Amino acid sequence: MRCNSSSSADKDPQKLKLDWSQWVWPGPRRIFSAEEMARAGEQPWPVSIEHYVYGNVVVLLAINYNLMPRGLVLWTVLAALGMSFSGLWVAKSLWRQPTRTRLNLYTLGAVFAMLGSLLLLKFQPLGLGPDLDRTEMRGVMLAFVAAVVLALTAWFFLVLIRVQQIESRLRELDEQAQHLKLARRLATAQIQPHFLFNTLASLQHWVDTQDPRAGSTLRSFTQYLRATLPMFERESLSLQEELHIVRSYLEVMQARMGARLQWQIEQSPEVDEALPLPPGLLLTLVENAIGHGIEPALRGGRITVSASQSKPGQVLIEVRDNGAGLSAQAEDGTGLANSRARLQQLYGERARLSLLPLSPGCLSQLHIDLQGAQP
């Protein structure tokens, strides 16, 4: 009996590799493009960090006041506040552009500035500052070096956290976009199987019996399919395209239902034909009007689709039928729920879809406020 004792590390040689460049040029390798930063990296700088840093500096200065050399109290306070301001300025710059190169250039600049300051503090070639004994000088230098090392460490972890934050946000946005894309495809797949099969069955019967309705219905059915199939890849359709799909659908349904279905499409000239709508939204409303209103009624009924301007900057689209009407326990089905979600995605709070009972029939109203930014 053979036993496979290979570990996961053996299966993935990349995990055994040691990135030696991190010893001399540390930091994340990921570089974000301008588009990625604009998409996910525009989180504001947390002002609470400044309050935290300055607050701690003041507390530390107060605690160590008695330990400061009397001749360097003012210089120590000014140096601490100046280093805090400079360190925060660098941190803000790294927050905006958290790159490995920028981190290491700032680190080198801080190291050289620290070495230069230590040399000036030790030798005082210009005679600046008071004379300090060796113990005091060593304490000041150690405090200065500790503050610089602390700042460099904070910058390093800030860049790592910031890069992870942006990567996480980009993944979240990609997942949301993928989810919305799948939901949109599912929501716009409103070609119901029974409609397709029943229409094809009717066409076959009319062709076999040489019924004159076969030619016109086949043309309308073909137009319907040509218009609806591209909906799967579109984020929105114009009002004109939506009405074209609805017209083809109603022509097919009227050929099948005969005198039991009457319909009319009305569009006011002041309504923009390029008005974007979620793909298949009007088709869903018309399908519901026929399926739940006209077909259950023995006498049939009439459907009116209208687009008008209720007031300047506001569009009102209605689907009205005089069929069986809404039941007392009527709730939104999958089609209407998806329609509301896609409408929210396209227009936000500037659009609403409502269903109102009529006597007889039902009225679907779509209100769109165009006063805000266009989608």
Give tens-digit pLDDT for 68-100: 777 778 888 888 899 999 999 999 999 999 999
In the chain, the percentage of residues whose pLDDT exceeds 70 is 83
Domain final residue pick, 157, 186, 215: 186
Would you say residue 231 has pLDDT above 80?
A: no
Would you say residue 165 has pLDDT above 80?
A: yes
More confident residue, 63 or 127: 63
Tell me whether residue 20 is in a domain: no
Strand order in the sheet with 261-267: 261-267, 301-311, 314-321, 362-369, 351-357
Domain co-membership, 202 together with 182: no
Domain co-membership, 178 together with 194: no
Compute φ and ψ for 353, nearest 5 degrees: -120, 125
The pLDDT assigned to 186 comes to 60
Tell me whether residue 12 is in a domain: no
Domain co-membership, 143 together with 236: no
CATH code, 269: 3.30.565.10
Q: What is the pLDDT of residues 237-296, one digit of tens each?
A: 899 999 998 999 999 999 989 899 999 999 998 898 899 998 888 988 998 899 888 988
Strand partners, 351: 368
CA distance 327 to 85: 68
Average pLDDT, stretch 199-210?
88
The pLDDT assigned to 334 comes to 62
Q: What is the pLDDT of residues 299-327, one digit of tens each?
A: 899 999 999 998 888 999 999 999 887 76
In what helix (H) or strand (E) does residue 369 lie, and over which residues does it extend?
strand 362-369
More confident residue, 195 or 243: 243
Split into its structural domains, the chain has a count of 2
The pLDDT assigned to 331 comes to 57
Tell me whether residue 197 is in a domain: yes
pLDDT-based confidence at residue 35 (cuts at 50, 70, 90): confident
Tell me whether residue 31 is in a domain: no
By residue range, what is the domain housing residue 284? 189-369
CA distance 74 to 81: 11
CA-derived radius of gyration, the chain: 36
Domain co-membership, 161 together with 255: no
More confident residue, 265 or 297: 265
Would you say residue 122 has pLDDT above 90?
A: no
Average pLDDT, stretch 108-115?
91
pLDDT-based confidence at residue 8 (cuts at 50, 70, 90): very low
Domain co-membership, 232 together with 339: yes
Domain co-membership, 60 together with 107: yes
pLDDT-based confidence at residue 298 (cuts at 50, 70, 90): confident
The pLDDT assigned to 13 comes to 47
Would you say residue 365 has pLDDT above 90?
A: yes
Domain co-membership, 200 together with 160: no
pLDDT-based confidence at residue 185 (cuts at 50, 70, 90): low
Tell me whether residue 32 is in a domain: no
Would you say residue 375 has pLDDT above 50?
A: no
Domain co-membership, 233 together with 352: yes
pLDDT-based confidence at residue 184 (cuts at 50, 70, 90): low
Tell me whether residue 158 is in a domain: yes
Query: 263 with 305: CB under 8 angstroms?
Result: yes
Domain co-membership, 209 together with 116: no
Query: What's the residue count for the chain?
Result: 375
Domain final residue pick, 170, 186, 202: 186
The pLDDT assigned to 366 comes to 94
Would you say residue 349 has pLDDT above 80?
A: yes
Give CA separation, 195 vs 97, 159, 225, 290, in Å: 55, 57, 12, 11
What mean pLDDT, rounded, does the chain reach?
82
Domain co-membership, 362 together with 300: yes
Domain co-membership, 247 together with 116: no
The pLDDT assigned to 183 comes to 63
Query: 306 with 317: CB under 8 angstroms?
Result: yes
Would you say residue 110 has pLDDT above 70?
A: yes
Before 360, cis peptide (omega within 30)? Answer: yes
More confident residue, 327 or 346: 346
DSSP for 65-98, written as a single string: GGGS-GGGHHHHHHHHHHHHHHHHHHHHHHHHS-
Domain co-membership, 154 together with 198: no
The pLDDT assigned to 326 comes to 72
Tell me whether residue 79 is in a domain: yes
The pLDDT assigned to 372 comes to 61
The pLDDT assigned to 233 comes to 67
Tokens of residue 335, six digits: 């089609």
Domain final residue pick, 162, 186, 210: 186
CA distance 254 to 360: 20
Tell me whether residue 307 is in a domain: yes
